[in-house]
Amino acid sequence: MRTPLLSIAIIFLVFISGYSQGKNSDFSKLNGPYLGQKPPGLTTEVFSPEIISTIEGSEMCAAFTNDGTFSIFFTKEIDGRWTKPQPLHFTDGDFTISPDGSKIFFGSNRPRTSEERILESMDIYFIQRDESGGWSNPVNIGPPVNSDHGENYPSVAANGNLYYFSCTNEGWGGCDLYMAPFRNMKYQQPILLDENINSNMHDWDAYVSPDESYIIFSSKDWSDTIGAQDLYISFKGENNNWTKAENLRGAVNSAFDEICPSITLDGKYLFFMSRRRGKADIYWVSTKIIEELKSLNKK
């Protein structure tokens, strides 16, 4: 019974992005799943307006900026009430929670050793939850995933396979999406995803489903892009090949940026960031839109 409780506790780490110590939001008054918010249907809605997505704040990729720094907070539901968000002991952006809730993967430009300076590019790290409920010190994943080109926005499948983007200039063009297989407790040589997903533009910020049946990512300047950056989805087809990525269009995308997709651990809702209100807010929508697209792809 430990894992379900853990999932409930840490899933909201991804979405407590607009909270700051300077606000007086009383989280103890919030009760029920998803901070007591009414779940959305097939229409995109702002998540927890005036609590998480506020006019004063600025959310970005499940972290928020406050005086120029990134902070990541953690809250959990106890007896139907949400605890006051507490900062975790690292301050980096672009992170994801493993499907079993035991690890948090994140990007960081922190020095790799005590002798080094802050890196010019990002590496991927993880922290692991221990038996006492605490978190380990950050661990650099190392090669062959991390390189001098910069790797960021990790997403992890249930089997451990790691998806991320890197701007190596050695792929299809711009920043590209890669997958590093996880075998024998080690990451293997990363694989550049094919042209059904990557383009000669920037392709990044990917979320992969736990069973790797679909991947959602952000890209800009495709021929069918609605705004500056849109969210696209690709499904695993026959022979484990990815289908041609589809624009999520009006169900999700707008004339503004849409980035940082993530699916809740229960698989019910898609969260992402959009600037459609003139600033960066967190939005959510039912994953039934994904199921409908998946059904169409099977026909």
- Spatial separation of the C-alpha atoms in residues 18 and 5, rounded to whole Å: 24
Quick one: DSSP state of residue 246?
E
| Per-residue confidence in pLDDT tens, the chain, 299 aa | 233 333 333 333 334 444 444 444 566 676 777 777 888 999 999 887 766 654 444 444 443 333 334 456 666 667 777 777 766 666 566 788 888 888 889 988 887 777 777 777 889 999 998 888 778 889 999 999 999 888 999 999 999 999 999 987 777 888 999 999 999 999 999 999 999 999 988 899 999 999 999 999 999 888 888 878 999 999 998 788 999 999 998 889 999 999 989 988 888 999 898 888 877 788 999 999 999 988 877 65
- Spatial separation of the C-alpha atoms in residues 127 and 138, rounded to whole Å: 5
Asked if 8 and 80 count as a contact pair (C-beta separation under 8 A), the reply is: no
This model's pTM is above 0.75:
yes
Cα distances from 199 to residues 125, 173, 225, in angstroms, run: 26, 6, 13
Q: What are 119's two structure tokens? A: 């890196």
Domain spans of the chain, in order of start: 2-210
**Rounded (5°) CA angle 229-101-182:** 75
